C-alpha cells in the first residue's frame, strides 16, 4: 500500500506494455520510456507508449499510458502534481457538472410553471369573491406577460454578457416574492391596478428564466445531448402545470385561495439554497470537447465568448435572418395556443360543463402529464435521428415541429365543430381533444424549442429572448382577447377554431423559412 504522502520518486511500481519480446517501462518520476529486451531476445525493439495488445494471447492493453499515469499519480498523492492532472480532469468534472445544471434548471422550470399556473385555478374563487368579469380575468392573466415580454429581451442579453447563473437566480427571487405578494395586491383593489402591477413584476422575474437556461445549456451541455436536455427542461414545466392544477384545489378548499400563492412562492426561495452553492458562476472547463454519453462530443467554442455591449449584438443580421423569422413565427403560435389553454381551461370546464374547481383542475392538468412524456420522447428521438445521421438537423426540427403544430390544430378544429356543453356535447370527447391538443404539442421541445441552439450557440440566449418575447406578446394579447370574445359571443367554438388556425400558420412559417444549420451572424 502506498501512502498518499509518499513522494513521486518513491513510486517504484512500473506500468509495463509487454508484447512477448520487449517491455516499455514508465518511471513515475521522470515519465520516460526505456526499453529492456527479454532474456530470450537478442535485439531491442522500439515500442509505442500506447500499446494495443490482444488480451486473449496473454497480453495487456494500455491506452494513453502517460495520461493514465498522471491521473493515477494525482489520486495517490492527494493533489500533488495538480498541474499535470488538470489537463485531463476537466472532461470528467464537466460531464458530471452539466448534468447537475440540467437537473437544477429542470427543477426551476417546474417551479416557474407552478407559480405561473396557480392563478388559472385560483382566479375562479377570486372572481367570485371580487365580482370580476371574463374581461377582468383576461386582463389579470395577460398582465403577467407584459413584464415577461420585457425581461425576455433584457434577460437574453444580460445572460449572455454576464453570469447566467446570477441572472436566473435573481429572476427566481423576484418572481417568488411577488407570488407571495399576490393576495395582498388583490385585496388592495383600486381597479385591479396593484394586482396587475404585481403580476407584471412577477412576469418580469420569470421572463429571464428560459433565456438564461438556454444560454447555460449552450455553454454546459454537449451537442449530442442538447435536444434531450432541453426536452427535459421544457417538459418539467408541464409537470409544474400538473402540480399547480392538482394541488391548488386542495390548498384552496382547505386553507383558502390565498394559501396557494403563499405556499408556491416559497418553492423558488428554497431552490436557491441548492443553486447558489452547487453551481459555479461560469462553466469551470471551457474545452471544445466534453465527455458526455459515449465518447467526446463537440461543444461550440463560439458559445464561450460573450458580448461586451448591445452594439456587439448583430441585430441587423438577426432581422435579415429567414431562419430566425421562421423560428419566431412558430414560437408565436405556441405563445397563443398553450397560454390560452392554460389560462382558460379551468374556466372552460367550470362555465361550459359546470364542474367544480377540483374536477376542472384535474381535467386541465391531465394534458400536461402526457405532454411531459411526449416532450422527452421527442428529445431522445431527435438526438437519435441527428446523431445517427438518419435526418439532417433541419429536417429533424421540421418533422418534430410538424407533429407539435398540426396535431393540436387538428384536435382544436374537431373540438370547434363539436357540440359544446352538457345539452348536446360530450365531456369525454371534449376533454380528449383538449388533452390531445396540449399533449402532442410537447413535440415542440425537439422542434423550435431546440432550434435556438442550432442557429447560434453564442447568441442562443438572445435569440430565445427575442422569440419568446414575441411569443409572450402574442400570448398576452390572445389571453386578453379571449376574455373579450367570451363576453361578446359566449362561444368557445370561436376560440378553439381561431387558435387552430394560429397553430397551422405558425408551422407554415417554420416549414418555409426554418433551418437547423448554424447561422454566421458575426460574419
pLDDT in tens, 96-131: 588 889 999 999 999 999 999 888 889 889 999 999
pLDDT for 311 equals 76
**Distance separating alpha carbons of residues 186 and 202, to the nearest angstrom:** 14
Stretch among 169-173, 279-283, 421-425 having the lowest mean pLDDT? 421-425
3-state secondary structure 181-212: HHHHHHHHCCCCHHHHHHHHHHHHHHHCHHHH
**Distance separating alpha carbons of residues 322 and 491, to the nearest angstrom:** 37
Residue 472 pLDDT grade (very low, low, confident, very high; cuts 50, 70, 90)? confident
**Distance separating alpha carbons of residues 121 and 366, to the nearest angstrom:** 14
400: nearest Cα among 339, 442, 370 = 442
Whether pLDDT at 94 is above 60: no
Average pLDDT taken over every residue of the chain: 78
Q: Each residue of 236-285: pLDDT tens digit?
A: 888 898 899 889 989 999 999 999 999 999 999 999 999 999 988 777 55
Whether pLDDT at 86 is above 50: no
When comparing pLDDT for 234 and 483, which is higher?
483
**Distance separating alpha carbons of residues 270 and 497, to the nearest angstrom:** 42
Average pLDDT over residues 190-201: 92
Q: What percent of the chain has pLDDT over 90?
A: 41
pLDDT for 267 equals 96
**Distance separating alpha carbons of residues 215 and 468, to the nearest angstrom:** 14
Cβ–Cβ under 8 Å, residues 335 and 474: yes
pLDDT for 326 equals 97
What fold characterizes domain 94-513? Growth Hormone; Chain: A; (1.20.1250)
Q: What percent of the chain has pLDDT over 70?
A: 76
**Distance separating alpha carbons of residues 113 and 87, to the nearest angstrom:** 41
Whether pLDDT at 45 is above 60: no
pLDDT for 285 equals 53
Q: Tell me how far CA of residue 242 lies from CA of 83, 98, 343, 444, in angstroms.
A: 49, 27, 13, 18
The count of C-alpha atoms lying within 13 angstroms of the C-alpha of 446, restricted to the half-sphere facing its C-beta, is: 31
Cβ–Cβ under 8 Å, residues 523 and 460: no
Whether pLDDT at 73 is above 70: no
Helix intervals (H) in 86-225:
89-130, 134-161, 164-188, 193-207, 209-220
Whether pLDDT at 394 is above 90: yes
pLDDT for 96 equals 56
C-alpha grid cell, residue 370: 402526457
Strand partners, 296: 291
Whether pLDDT at 13 is above 50: no
Residue 370 pLDDT grade (very low, low, confident, very high; cuts 50, 70, 90)? confident
Average pLDDT over residues 387-402: 96
211: nearest Cα among 443, 459, 398, 382 = 459
pLDDT for 482 equals 92
pLDDT for 170 equals 94
When comparing pLDDT for 467 and 87, which is higher?
467
452: nearest Cα among 374, 379, 519, 376 = 519
Whether pLDDT at 414 is above 50: yes
pTM, rounded to two decimals:
0.66
Give residue limits of the domains in the chain.
12-67, 94-513
pLDDT for 180 equals 96
Whether pLDDT at 42 is above 90: no
**Block residue for cell numbers 378548499:** 253
| Interstrand relation of 15-18 and 32-37 (parallel, antiparallel or unpaired) | unpaired
Which one-letter DSSP state was computed for residue 56?
A: G
pLDDT for 205 equals 94
Cβ–Cβ under 8 Å, residues 175 and 115: yes
Stretch among 76-80, 400-404, 498-502 having the lowest mean pLDDT? 76-80
Helix intervals (H) in 55-88:
65-77, 82-85
3-state secondary structure 476-498: HHHHHHHHHHHHHHCCHHHHHHH
Whether pLDDT at 195 is above 70: yes
Residues 6+ apart with CB under 8 A from 359: 349
Amino acid at each position: 500500500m502506498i501512502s498518499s504522502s509518499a513522494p513521486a520518486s518513491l513510486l517504484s511500481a512500473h506500468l509495463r506494455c509487454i508484447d512477448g519480446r520487449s517491455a516499455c517501462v514508465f518511471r513515475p518520476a521522470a515519465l520516460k520510456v526505456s526499453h529492456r529486451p527479454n532474456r530470450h531476445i537478442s535485439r531491442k525493439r522500439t515500442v509505442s507508449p500506447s500499446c494495443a495488445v490482444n488480451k486473449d494471447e496473454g497480453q495487456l492493453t494500455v491506452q494513453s499510458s502517460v495520461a493514465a499515469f498522471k491521473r493515477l499519480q494525482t489520486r495517490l498523492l492527494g493533489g500533488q502534481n495538480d498541474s499535470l492532472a488538470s489537463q485531463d480532469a476537466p472532461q470528467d468534472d464537466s460531464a458530471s457538472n452539466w448534468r447537475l445544471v440540467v437537473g437544477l434548471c429542470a427543477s426551476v422550470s417546474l417551479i416557474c410553471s407552478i407559480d405561473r399556473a396557480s392563478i388559472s385555478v385560483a382566479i375562479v374563487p377570486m372572481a367570485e369573491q371580487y365580482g370580476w368579469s371574463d374581461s377582468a380575468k383576461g386582463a389579470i392573466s395577460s398582465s403577467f406577460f407584459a413584464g415577461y415580454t420585457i425581461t425576455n429581451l433584457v434577460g437574453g442579453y444580460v445572460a449572455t454578457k454576464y453570469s447566467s447563473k446570477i441572472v436566473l437566480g435573481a429572476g427566481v427571487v423576484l418572481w417568488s416574492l411577488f407570488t407571495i405578494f399576490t393576495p395582498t395586491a388583490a385585496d388592495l383593489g383600486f381597479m385591479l391596478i396593484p394586482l396587475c402591477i404585481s403580476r407584471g413584476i412577477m412576469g418580469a422575474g420569470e421572463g429571464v428564466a428560459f433565456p438564461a437556461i438556454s444560454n447555460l445549456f449552450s455553454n454546459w451541455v454537449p451537442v449530442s445531448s442538447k435536444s434531450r436536455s432541453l426536452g427535459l427542461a421544457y417538459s418539467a414545466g408541464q409537470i409544474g402545470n400538473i402540480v399547480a392544477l392538482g394541488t391548488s384545489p386542495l390548498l384552496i378548499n382547505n386553507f383558502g385561495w390565498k394559501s396557494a400563492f403563499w405556499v408556491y412562492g416559497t418553492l423558488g426561495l428554497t431552490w436557491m439554497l441548492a443553486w447558489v452553492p452547487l453551481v459555479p458562476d461560469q462553466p469551470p472547463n471551457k474545452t471544445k470537447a466534453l465527455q458526455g454519453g459515449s465518447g467526446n462530443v463537440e461543444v461550440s467554442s463560439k458559445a464561450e465568448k460573450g458580448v461586451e455591449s448591445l452594439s456587439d449584438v448583430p441585430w441587423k443580421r438577426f432581422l435579415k435572418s429567414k431562419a430566425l423569422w421562421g423560428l419566431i413565427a412558430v414560437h408565436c403560435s405556441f405563445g397563443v395556443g398553450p397560454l390560452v389553454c392554460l389560462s382558460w381551461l379551468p374556466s372552460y370546464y367550470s362555465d361550459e360543463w359546470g364542474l367544480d374547481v377540483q374536477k376542472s383542475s384535474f381535467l386541465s392538468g391531465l394534458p400536461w402529464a402526457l405532454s411531459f412524456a411526449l416532450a422527452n420522447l421527442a428529445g431522445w428521438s431527435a438526438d437519435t435521428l441527428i446523431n445517427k445521421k438518419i435526418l439532417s438537423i433541419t429536417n429533424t426540427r421540421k418533422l418534430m415541429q410538424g407533429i407539435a403544430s398540426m396535431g393540436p390544430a387538428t384536435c382544436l378544429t374537431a373540438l370547434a365543430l363539436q357540440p359544446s356543453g352538457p345539452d348536446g356535447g360530450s365531456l369525454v370527447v371534449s376533454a380528449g381533444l383538449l388533452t390531445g391538443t396540449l399533449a402532442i404539442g410537447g413535440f415542440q421541445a425537439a422542434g423550435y424549442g431546440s432550434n435556438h441552439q442550432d442557429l447560434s450557440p453564442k447568441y442562443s440566449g438572445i435569440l430565445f429572448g427575442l422569440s419568446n418575447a414575441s411569443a409572450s406578446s402574442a400570448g398576452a394579447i390572445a389571453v386578453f382577447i379571449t376574455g373579450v370574445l367570451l363576453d361578446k359571443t359566449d362561444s368557445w367554438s370561436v376560440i378553439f377554431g381561431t387558435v387552430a388556425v394560429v397553430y397551422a400558420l405558425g408551422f407554415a412559417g417554420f416549414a418555409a423559412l426554418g433551418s437547423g444549420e448554424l447561422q454566421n451572424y458575426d460574419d
